[in-house]
Amino acid sequence: MPSYDILRQVSTPTLTTVLLKKGLRNIWIRGARPLASASTRIVGPAFTLNFIPAREDLATPEAWASPTSTRAALEAAPAQSVVVANALGVTDAGIFGDILCARMVKRGLAGVVTDGMVRDIAGVLASGLPVWAQGYAAPPSVAGLIFTGWNQPIACGGVAIFPGDTIVADADGAVVIPAAMVDEVAGLAREQERLEEWILREVEKGVALPGLYPPNAETRARYERERG
């Protein structure tokens, strides 16, 4: 099963556990929460956007027509990619509105993950684009931010994101998997979920947690026998 197909079936809590065991602790993007259905899940390569604090001579509505603009960036994003935007955690300016989100849907992008805000929330939700953000705010992006470029390493929610890293987002938030680790992490995550499903069945039978979760050698041997 291709890695992305596996990742569409495992939860972000499972992924954070697997990545922790591989030595990666800082991979959950702070502030990125699903704005619509908690059942929505997305998986895709990161396409990064970067903002810096606004400066009045540059953060103007005219900047929206610049060759270096979110409009230009979104036309460069490959289909099925996840747009990951560093908005510095700013909560009084929305970086995307209904029109940009509608365009992302038309271009086949998987969704948006940001540590900032969106605006025109009714239109954003109506577009059907999956969005993970802190929330929504009426002011436009230039009220607090300047867009500086795309497809470069960024920080988002305190996490380092490189173009092409894999983003997995669900009801528990958004996680980044380094590109070089995707296949290994997917395999480990699938096995972790199989084990935890078995453990949950044991709990429902009345088995006590010590030695079961986490499994000791005896429990793991029994799991292996029953798995076949």
Phi, psi of 137 (to 5 degrees): -145, 150
- Residues 105 and 197 placed together within one structural domain of the fold: no
- Residues 173 and 203 placed together within one structural domain of the fold: no
Is the pLDDT assigned to residue 228 strictly greater than 90? no
pLDDT at site 39: 74
Report residue 30 as tokens: 């702070």
Name the β-bridge partners of 135. Answer: 117
216, burial (CB in 10 Å: exposed 0-12, middle 13-18, buried 19+): exposed
DSSP 14: H
Answer yes or no: is 6 within a domain. no
Answer yes or no: is 20 within a domain. no
Domain that holds residue 73: 25-177
Answer yes or no: is 42 within a domain. yes
- Residues 114 and 222 placed together within one structural domain of the fold: no
Query: Structural domain tally of the chain?
Result: 2
Answer yes or no: is 89 within a domain. yes
- Residues 35 and 108 placed together within one structural domain of the fold: yes
pLDDT at site 66: 83
The pLDDT tens digits of the residues spanning 119-170 come to: 999 999 999 999 999 999 999 999 999 999 999 999 999 999 999 999 999 9
- Residues 203 and 144 placed together within one structural domain of the fold: no
Question: Which residue is listed with tokens 């969106």?
Answer: 118
Answer yes or no: is 8 within a domain. no
pLDDT at site 104: 98
User: Which parts of 60-165 are beta strand (E)?
Assistant: 82-86, 111-114, 117-118, 131-133, 135-136, 145-150, 154-156, 159-161
- Residues 168 and 192 placed together within one structural domain of the fold: no
Total length of the chain = 228
- Residues 213 and 127 placed together within one structural domain of the fold: no
- Residues 37 and 129 placed together within one structural domain of the fold: yes
pLDDT at site 175: 98
pLDDT at site 1: 47
- Among residues 136, 158, 177, the one where a domain terminates is 177
Answer yes or no: is 9 within a domain. no
- Residues 111 and 190 placed together within one structural domain of the fold: no
CATH number of the domain where residue 162 is located: 3.50.30.40
Is the bond preceding 214 in cis, omega lying within 30 degrees of 0? yes
- Residues 37 and 132 placed together within one structural domain of the fold: yes
- Cα separation, 149 vs 147, whole angstroms: 6
- Residues 115 and 51 placed together within one structural domain of the fold: yes
Answer yes or no: is 96 within a domain. yes
The pLDDT tens digits of the residues spanning 162-220 come to: 999 999 999 999 999 999 999 999 999 999 999 999 999 999 999 999 999 999 999 99
Question: Which residue is listed with tokens 């994003």?
Answer: 77
- Cα separation, 106 vs 182, whole angstroms: 27
Answer yes or no: is 2 within a domain. no
Nearest to 142 by CA among 45, 210, 51: 51
Nearest to 172 by CA among 132, 136, 214: 132
Spatial neighbors of 210 by CB under 8 A, at least 6 apart, are none
The pLDDT tens digits of the residues spanning 21-77 come to: 999 999 999 999 999 876 789 999 999 999 999 998 887 888 788 888 999 999 999
DSSP 94: B
pLDDT at site 60: 84
pLDDT grade for 20, boundaries at 50, 70 and 90? very high
pLDDT over 90 percentage in the chain: 90
Q: Give the predicted TM-score (pTM) of the model.
A: 0.93
